[in-house]
Amino acid sequence: MTWLSTGDAALAFADDLAVAREQLAEFDDELGDRYRALIDGHPDACVRTCRPGHLTGSALVVDSTGANTLLMLHAKFGRWLQPGGHADGDANLAAVALREATEETGIENLRIWPQPLHLDIHEVDPPGEDAHLHFDVRFLVQAPADAQPQGNHESRGLRWVPLDGVAALGCDSGLVRLAELGGEALERLPRP
């Protein structure tokens, strides 16, 4: 396994839910079973209208040193979050996470480790929509040394935060755990 970047064949759009199922193979626990039940019971699991919820992909974006993560102050939710979003029909959740990270940070040439780091099911209640679940599949993404975050309309700000400083921003326990797992993964993975 190796780090991937936009354009790699392994990040091609996939409408077959078997791709998402395969990406979840290492999660052989109760949480992973909940994701597989969603996939097996809902052929539209990658579409934002699927209820009780749908798959999403997000990214723990770290700087080139691996010491800091880039968080966004989400415009809709008013909280510090990692970049991520809806699959919009793409069952290749690594591709979803990389696409969303690129769009929401404005950083080009990001690289993604294709094995998910973390799973998190959480309820969202966005304005104008019914409350539903996001079955979020979270990946590690590394920015190049010259990264200049730009952000977009989905955030009110971007901030580099030390991996061990995520909790101090009042982030939820899932994001704190993701930052911990990201730090551990960076110690054992090859540099991109």
Helices in the chain by DSSP H: which ranges? 17-23, 30-41, 93-105, 173-188
Give the number of domains in the chain.
1
Q: For the residues 173-183, what does the mean pLDDT come to?
A: 97
Query: Please, which pLDDT band fits residue 106 given cuts at 50, 70 and 90?
Result: very high
pLDDT above 80 (res 84)? yes
Domain containing 177 — which CATH number? 3.90.79.10
**What pLDDT does residue 41 have?**
98
Range of the domain at 80: 4-188
Q: How far is residue 111's CA from residue 61's CA, in Å, rounded to a whole number?
A: 9
Mean pLDDT (whole number) for 158-168: 95
The pLDDT tens digits for 23-43 are 999 999 999 999 999 999 999
Write down the pLDDT at residue 157.
Answer: 84
Would the pLDDT of 2 be above 90?
A: yes
pLDDT in tens, 63-79: 999 999 999 987 777 78
Integer angstrom CA distances of residue 91 from 7, 28, 137, 138: 16, 19, 11, 14
CA distances from 112 to 4, 58, 77, 173, 192 (A): 5, 11, 26, 23, 9
Q: Where do we find the tokens 């099911």?
A: 121
How far apart CA 113 and CA 93 sit, in angstroms, is 12
> Would you say the pTM of this structure is higher than 0.85?
yes
Instruction: Please state the rounded mean pLDDT for residues 172-185.
Output: 96
Instruction: Check residue 167 and report its DSSP letter.
Output: G
Q: Which helix (H) or strand (E) holds 138?
A: strand 132-142
